[in-house]
A and B are shown apart, each in its own frame.
Chain A
Amino acid sequence: MIPAAAPTRALDAPSFSTGRFRAEREADWIAFDLLLTKLEKKGVKALTSDELLQLPLLYRATLSSLSIARATSLDKALLDHLEALSIRGYFLVYGVRETRWSRIRRFFLYDWPAAVRSVWKETIIISLIILLGASTSYSLVASNPEWYYNFVGEDMAGGRDPRATAEYLQSTLGHGKAANEGESGLHVFATYLFTHNSRVSILSFALGFAFGVPTMMLEYYQGIGLGAMMALFSAKGLGFDFGGWLFIHGTTELFAAALSGAAGLRIGAAVVFPGARSRLQAAAEAGRTAGKVMIGVILMLFMAGLLEGFGRQLITDTMLRYGIGTLMLLFWIAYYYIPRREDVT
């Protein structure tokens, strides 16, 4: 015990003091703070080469100050400041390592197709589910047209139901008089289709975490609507024309729908069967792959919206429609699945 009798001065300037520590280092912290502010506001390009060289030095100096301060200082304001400064510095120094342009380029050249390739199993499953839905409703409606009303809602059908005449159905496909009616509204229509489809796809992706079940249900319903329509048109001998009407944008749109479902299913599968990884880690890894796929899906849907809104309304020749649809399908398949050298950067 220290003898309490002698009231020695508590403050007899030791050779190390936190006051001196701060006085020595404070200039570095202020310089680092200024540099970070400049970096945040104006980006890397605004820094001179001198400042760029200073950045890691100041960052390390600040981190070392933080370590020393934690071990020696009890000044709360100082500790808080150094902690906040270090965190800010860490995320800026280690944050972005490439330019925005090279990120975009890498996404289109490698990341997007690679992500789509990696969900190929899920894509096949979802495609089969859509086909199953389509064939279910097709066979049901073909055997008994009354089923149609169970599958396609009144507002969605828009008069296209078993009671309609073949002429009317023909006109909805863009042959005959209805074709030239609303040409000025085409771009509005295309935009509406794009935003609507994107939201449905986002939903089918987001529902994936519930073990992928809602995703599969949503895709099944999409197939059901499709199959019912197909049965309706082929019963009136318009199957081939309907195919063209659907094919021109459908290859892109259905592909995108299948991919969004696959992305959702990937997450659901990772949660149920994480393998050797922890569940959280598996979900996070699947989520990142699925995120890349989803950016691609939105871009695909944008193209599908263009094809549906403009292409389908302006091109009325059925063979040409088939041609464009096939071309788009081949393009997507080639873009995604033709093997290429891995990105090494």
Chain B
Amino acid sequence: MSAAAAQANAKSRSARAKKVRQFITPEGVDLELRIASSGLRFGALLVDLILIVLALFLFSLVMLWIGFASQSDITMVVWMLGAFLLRTFWFIGFELGSRAATPGKRLMGIRVVARDGGRLTADAVVARNLIRELELFLPLMMLGFGAAEDMVSGWTMAAGVLWSLTLSLFLLFNRDRMRMGDLIAGTWVVMAQRVKLDADIATGTAGDAMTFSEAELAVYGIFELQELERVLRGRDARAMREVADTIRAKIGRPVAEEDDVFLLSYYRQLKARLERKLLFGKRREDKYASD
């Protein structure tokens, strides 16, 4: 059973590693960018589309109001130009900014970067977003075209829609989650969320209440340590009770202390032990790895 669990662990780790792309800065540090998932991309697109429609709606209302007030058809021109600009340059304008992300992408914590590690140029942004026009509207056009032409049979229409959908869903079929536009512009969309610096829970005096023996600490590896860290930072009493009981059962300790004191002490000493090993070049990924 433990062999199966070890295998599952290794599998999830390699799946995570598959999303990481080497990205070496001129200083020689690998930033290890992570490719954004298709779900996040879709969510970002949806948010952007909703915002565009909202903006268009407000803009139309304002233009209608001005048009009625002034009785001039110049507002019609402003409306048409404005709608065109909004549609075409919403994505381009935002992605040219310093954060290289539309509001939807910002919300999802992702951004566009150049695949070759250089800076993101305006032409790349333009190319990737003009292709978007096609990816979004070709399936719709196929549907409309098929419906308008009577002679086109249902099957031909379905084939057309299917063909255009393979273009639109191109990002599902490659490892790097590249849209057609990304492919042509030489870009990637990667994770860029902000992470707050949380307090260091390994310092302070509260965690020295108990001491664990070497054998008691030797049962866990890095994966378990970081899970424990997550539980400690989450401060959920029930989760802490559960984890504390599991550890107590594993190392054979009676329930004697408060859960948080116990866990904090254990975390601190386990971390110190594993980090010391790390300094000597020994990285124990999880409890299944040899100590």
Q: Which residues of the partner chain A approach B238 to less than 8 Å between Cβ atoms?
A: none
| Residues B203 and A19 in contact, CB atoms below 8 Å apart | yes
| Residues B198 and A77 in contact, CB atoms below 8 Å apart | yes
**Mask: chain A, 276-290; 1 = CB below 8 Å from B; 0 = not:** 000011011111111
Interface residues in A175-191 (C-beta closer than 8 Å to B): 184-185, 187-188, 190-191
- Cβ of A22 under 8 Å from chain B: yes
Shortest Cβ distance from residue A170 to the other chain B in the assembled complex, whole angstroms:
28
Q: How far is the CA of A25 from the CA of B194 in the complex (A)?
A: 19
Q: Which residues of the partner chain A approach B222 to less than 8 Å between Cβ atoms?
A: 74
**Mask: chain A, 79-105; 1 = CB below 8 Å from B; 0 = not:** 011011111101110111100000100
| Residues A11 and B268 in contact, CB atoms below 8 Å apart | yes
Q: Which residues of the partner chain A approach B180 to less than 8 Å between Cβ atoms?
A: 209
Q: Which residues of the partner chain B approach A198 to less than 8 Å between Cβ atoms?
A: 84, 88
Interface size on A, residues (CB 8 A): 86
**Mask: chain B, 246-274; 1 = CB below 8 Å from A; 0 = not:** 00000000000000000000001101111
Q: Give the contact stretch, choosing among B7-15, B36-44, B49-57, B130-138.
A: B130-138
| Residues A10 and B272 in contact, CB atoms below 8 Å apart | yes
| Residues A284 and B200 in contact, CB atoms below 8 Å apart | no
| Residues B198 and A10 in contact, CB atoms below 8 Å apart | no
Q: How far is the CA of A64 from the CA of B29 in the complex (A)?
A: 8
Q: How far is the CA of A11 from the CA of B225 in the complex (A)?
A: 16
Which listed residue, A14, A207, A286, A288, touches B121 by the CB 8 Å rule?
A288
| Range of interface residues on B (Cβ < 8 Å) | 35 or more
Q: How far is the CA of A111 from the CA of B184 in the complex (A)?
A: 19
**Mask: chain A, 291-324; 1 = CB below 8 Å from B; 0 = not:** 1101100100000000000000000000000000
Shortest Cβ distance from residue B103 to the other chain A in the assembled complex, whole angstroms:
14
**Mask: chain B, 108-127; 1 = CB below 8 Å from A; 0 = not:** 00010101100111111111
**A residues whose Cβ falls under 8 Å from a Cβ of B:** 2, 4, 7-11, 14, 16-19, 22-23, 26, 29-30, 33, 39-40, 43, 60, 63-64, 66-67, 71-78, 80-81, 83-88, 90-92, 94-97, 103, 107, 111, 115, 184-185, 187-188, 190-192, 194-195, 198-199, 202-203, 205-207, 209, 267, 280-281, 283-292, 294-295, 298
**B residues whose Cβ falls under 8 Å from a Cβ of A:** 25-27, 29, 31-33, 73-74, 76-77, 80-81, 83-84, 88, 98-100, 111, 113, 115-116, 119-128, 130-131, 133-134, 180, 183-186, 192-198, 200, 202-203, 208, 211-215, 217, 222, 225-226, 229-230, 233, 268-269, 271-276, 278-279
